Structure 1
Amino acid sequence: MLSPIAWSTPPKKYGPWESIVSLLTEGLVKRGIDVTLFATADSHTAAKLHAVCPRPYEEDKDMIRKVYEGLHISEVFERAKEFDIIHNHFDYLPLTYSTLVDTPVVTTIHGISSRKILPVYKKYNNRTFYVSISDAYRCNDLDYIATVRHGIDIESFYFNEKPQDYLLFLSRLHKDKGVREAIEVAKKTGRRLRIAGFIADQAYFEKEVQPYLDNEQIIYEGHVDPEFKKELLSNAYALLHMINYEEAFGIGIVEAMASGTPVIAINRGAMPELIRDGETGFLVNSVDEAAEAVQKLGSISRKKCRENVEKRFSVDRMVDDYIKVYETILEKCKREEERPWGFYEVFMHKPGYKVKSLTVFPQGEISLQRHSHRSEHWYVISGEGLVTKNGSEIRVLPGDSVDLPVNKVHRIKNIGSQNLVFIEIAQGDYIGEDDIERLEDKYGRV
């Protein structure tokens, strides 16, 4: 499990990606699954923790971010053979390592910060696996193996049927998140607004937020810890989520509803997948509509808000969904047979012919052999090999092919630094794997 290192896993305060990684990791461990978590050294987990980054780089600005990102990502891929699956939550950079290993890589795309990063995702599309966190946030340029919506630890949130009279903004303080718009809603309705979250854009905060703070109607609580956050959510009359972008999910929305608190949100991104309009909150298109929705909050059952989360956004449901993803990936990447030199996978087996792929590890080689009943045709997909054919040696690269008639003595060796992958088409009156006469073998199988 490859977690980001901007914050610890789980985060001390802010860190939505790290929070989901923690919940998923602990949920998998409870199911008896062997998980190694790659995260910051101050992280906490029941899994095996592996860390090269001593602390989150967002908490220590003296750390060179790229240095620790490089060290962190390389650790998991250097140990790839130890794992059945690598689950990447660290955005696009780990994808650049993915084809250097045989272990399948699945990436949960928590967010796409800019279309400028899409070339990386496109390059590794169909070479790795992608999971979306909402249907709304799928990119048309990419293929996905599943949508898995986040889950939360519902029991850790305090359900409250009798809230106080304040509205709440709870997120990072940035234009995207609409804190200024939330202030406008509070002003229009005459309600108190309590604001909590870290300042992600100082200039925006100083211009659009700070001038309105009076510690009476508009109050900034600061960057709050998890316990204070839960208290704020539980006691709030409603959560305002006035976003200015297509948000992929919104953990705070689910946490609010788990506390019984309805949500008024701009109808963008994944909001319709989270909020049931008129039942667990309201989907609106402007500040004026949000102000009108505040007046209708009395029609919302706080109990139904909680029940909706229990039914749709539990950790157990999220863990179940990811286990199904892992099982699907393992089936798709199933190795039919392992050998000392690598492994092969049968694509098609019909009377008279068989098609399979063979992967030979660096410095690996199949035995010097011949077949009495079948001929073979090899087509190289990737890597660099040296084919021995009746005493002659032929260097092969991607796109090269070699024909091996019945009874021809042959062998192939991986002479490159990456896996050698080739397709084999066998044809004959008998194509069983025991039709092999080994003449020489470095693994002692003659």
Structure 2
Amino acid sequence: MRIAMLSPIAWSTPPKKYGPWEAMVSLLTEGLVKRGIDVTLFATADSHTSGKLHAVCPRPYEEDKNIHVKVYECLHISEVFERADEFDIIHNHFDYLPLTYSRLVDTPVVTTVHGISSRRILPVYKKYNNSTFYVSISDAYRCDELEYIATVHHGIDTGSFPFNESPEDYLLYISRIHRDKGTKEAIEVAKRTGMRLKIAGFIADPEYFENEVAPHIDSEQIIYEGHVSHQHKKDLLSHARALLHMINYEEAFGLGVVEALTCGTPVIAINKGAMPELIIDGETGFLVNGVEEAVDAVQKLGSISRKKCRESVEIRFSVERMVEDYIKVYETILEKYRREEKRPWGFYEILTEKPGYKVKRITVLPQEEISLQRHAHRQEHWYIVSGEGLVTKNTDQIRVFSGDSVDLGVKEIHRVKNTGGQNLVFIEIAQGDYLGEDDIERFEDKYGRA
């Protein structure tokens, strides 16, 4: 299996500090390589992988403001799709833009939907809903207007996070500093409980930081640690009494939540988005509906077993589990794309297949017939090359010979039977928004497939 892994270029893969999407891409890439899968990582040139690294963007654009974002996004994405025939699957972690290339190649594309920033981008996802594959990162963050092949929760390298049975007496906020993430609410919880709060993360909203966060920082009770390194983050997580995750939006996943639990640190989180899928309420933390309930939850932290927090992640959110889930996704996709040539009634050959159309050469053996069927997404044109047959088209019966043709509309019920003593050969041109072999509804079939 050959996988093209398309990572974002906002940060390196893996990121030096912040970069949750890039972090997940790195863990998945390394896990797949360990399983013997051939992975080419498309990322920034300063990225690192045990697989093959291919880069056109020299540095992350969030670290080098001289990088022209749109120029390098175009160069980065086009590089993958221009090499599409080298891979069995393209795994897109770059949001919606690569979808616009997907119908220009034959290689199947699967997109992990890490987050939908606005409903304004949904038209792109909806356009390619039937021609590509989507993976959600939580059941809570599925869009009703899209179809998904699977939900795959993120996994982390549990062995790289230290477990600490004896924490220090402080609460922790670790995320980008933004209104959505509830920095202000975390400060309020700390002040009302009288506990210290350490804040770590890059300032995503400078105005919010200056007005709502900075005035409370006194370096005694409310301490800002800055945009910390991975090692410093792990130290903060493992020594914290609890992580405060006071989000104000429907969060798709919550990587920091799982990282905290891995260290044995319980999490107090607003009950939104994917939080019920990550936190076992009363066992690995508390799901709350506001500051008041969060304050009460702080008083109950003694009832939480830090060992159980760690064990829950080892069972539910390991890298190995995530890698295994994605391998199953890849296998399912490849099975859907597998071009089986032999059928009970004969065989076929795919002459060409491009976005929007597929051409087959179909051979029906003497006295055999295809099933009585219809298609929901495609119309077909049949041109008889040789032999003779009987075509059923709705309630009509049409005799066909060499040189004849038949047009079949979407959802028209049809079949063909070879009525002669020689092979019946015809060319089928299918057109539609989905051309998969599973777009078939059988009504009658002599081979028991209806």
TM-score, normalised with respect to structure 1: 0.82
Match of residue 275 from structure 1:
279
Deviation at 1:401, TM superposition (A): 3.1
Partner of 1:443: none
Q: What is residue 444 of structure 2 aligned with on the other side?
A: none
**Distance in 1 (alpha carbons) for counterparts of 2:229 and 2:64:** 18
Change (3 A) 1:239 1:81: same
Partner residue of 2:141 out of 137, 143, 152: 137
The AA in structure 1 aligned to 2:352 is T
Task: Indicate the residue corresponding to 1:81 in structure 2.
Answer: 85
SS for the counterpart of 2:234 is: helix
Structure 2 stretches lacking a partner, 5+ long: 388-400, 404-413, 427-450
Matched residue, 1:123 = 127
Q: Decide whether aligned partners of structure 1 residues 200 and 360 sit closer, same or farther in structure 2, where only a CA change above 3 A counts.
A: closer
**Residue of structure 1 aligned with 2:226, choices 209, 215, 222:** 222
Measured in 1, the distance between the counterparts of 2:280 and 2:19 equals 26
Equivalent positions of 1:155-194 (< 5 A) are 155-194=159-198
Q: Which residue of 1 aligns with 2:418?
A: 428
Question: In structure 2, what is the Cα distance between the partners aligned to 1:137 and 1:108?
Answer: 12
- Give distance in 1, aligned partners of 2:140 and 2:117: 15
Q: Which amino acid aligns with 2:71?
A: V
The CA deviation at 1:400 is 7.7
Range moving further from structure 2, 266-275 or 365-374? 365-374
Name the SS for the 1:161 alignment partner: coil
Distance in 2 between residues matched to 1:284 and 1:327, nearest whole Å:
39
Query: Could you say which residue in structure 2 is the equivalent of 1:311?
Result: 315
Q: Report the counterpart of residue 359 of structure 1 in structure 2.
A: 352
Q: For the Cα contact (< 8 Å) 1:376–1:403, is it kept in 2?
A: no
Match of 2:217 in 1: 213
User: How far apart, CA to CA, are the structure 2 residues paired with 1:361 and 1:137?
Assistant: 32
Q: Distance in 1 between matches of 2:301 and 2:364?
A: 78
Q: CA deviation at 1:427?
A: 4.3
Equivalents in 1 of 2:423, 2:122: separation in Å?
Answer: 43
Indicate the SS of the match to 1:336: coil
Indicate if the aligned counterparts of 1:176 and 1:245 stay in contact, CA closer than 8 A: yes
- Give the 3-state SS of the residue equivalent to 2:211 in structure 1: helix
Q: Distance in 2 between matches of 1:406 and 1:178?
A: 71
Q: Relative to 1, partners in 2 of residues 1:366 and 1:199: Cα closer, same or farther, differing over 3 Å?
A: closer
Contact 1:355 1:425 in 2 (8 A): no
Cα separation, 1, equivalents of 2:236 and 2:164: 11
RMSD: 3.1
AA aligned to 1:403 is Y
> In 2 relative to 1, CA 430–241 (structure 1 residues): closer, same or farther, beyond 3 Å?
farther
Give 1:417's aligned residue: none
- The one-character-per-residue Cα deviations of 1:234-281 (angstroms, maximum 9, x if unpaired) are 000000000000000001000000001000000000000000001000
**Aligned partner of 2:336 among 332, 338, 344:** 332
Distance 2:207 2:79 in 1: 37
SS of residue in 1 equivalent to 2:6: coil
Rounded Cα–Cα distance in structure 2 between residues aligned with 1:192 and 1:354: 72
Residue deviations 1:75-109 (CA, integer Å, cap 9, x gap): 11000000000000000000000011110100000
2:42 is equivalent to residue 38 of structure 1: yes
Q: CA deviation at 1:376?
A: 12
Q: Which amino acid aligns with 1:89?
A: H
For the residue of structure 2 that corresponds to 1:94, the secondary structure is helix
Corresponding position of 1:401 = 381
**Change in CA separation of 1:83 and 1:202 when aligned onto 2, cut-off 3 Å:** same
1:258 aligns with 2:262: yes
> Does the CA contact (< 8 Å) of 1:107 and 1:130 recur in 2?
yes
1:101-112 superposed matches below 5 A: 101-112=105-116
| Cα 1:41–1:405 shift into 2, 3 Å | closer
Write the letter of the residue equivalent to 1:428. Answer: N
- The secondary structure found in structure 1 opposite 2:112 is strand
Three-state SS of the structure 2 residue aligned to 1:66 is helix
Could you say if the C-alpha distance between residues 257 and 368 of structure 1 is closer, same or farther in structure 2, counting changes exceeding 3 Å? closer
- State how far apart, in whole Å, the 2-side matches of 1:192 and 1:210 are: 15
Q: Is the 8 A contact 1:177 1:244 kept in 2?
A: yes
Secondary structure at the aligned position of 1:99 is classed as: helix
State the one-letter code of the partner of 2:72: Y
Query: CA offset at residue 335 of structure 1?
Result: 2.2
Q: CA–CA distance in 1 between the matches of 2:360 and 2:150?
A: 41
How much does 1:406 deviate? 2.6
**Counterpart Cα distance in 2 of 1:431 and 1:160:** 79
The equivalences for 1:383-402 within 5 A come to 401-402=381-382
Q: Structure 1's 368 and 137: CA in aligned 2 closer, same or farther, altered over 3 A?
A: closer
Q: Contact 1:171/1:252 (CA < 8 Å) preserved in 2? A: yes
Unmatched runs of 5 consecutive residues or more in structure 1: 338-345, 382-397, 411-423, 437-446
2:422 and 2:288 map into 1 onto residues whose CA distance is 65
Quick one: structure 1 residues 433 and 150, their matched pair in 2 at CA, closer, same or farther if it must change by over 3 Å? farther
Contact kept in structure 2, 1:374 and 1:405, CA below 8 Å: no
- The answer (yes or no) to whether the contact 1:4–1:90 under 8 Å persists in 2 is yes
Deviations 1:321-341 (A, max 9, x none): 00000000000111235xxxx
Distance 1:203 1:131 in 2: 35
Compute the TM-score of the two structures, normalised by the length of structure 2. 0.81
Q: Which residue of 1 aligns with 2:98?
A: 94
Separation (CA, whole Å) in 2 of partners of 1:313 and 1:375? 52
Q: Determine whether 1:68 maps to 2:72.
A: yes
Q: In 1, are the aligned partners of 2:270 and 2:290 still within 8 Å (CA)?
A: yes
> How much has 1:148 moved relative to structure 2?
0.3
Counterpart CA distance in 1 for 2:191 and 2:350 is 66
Partner of 2:407: none
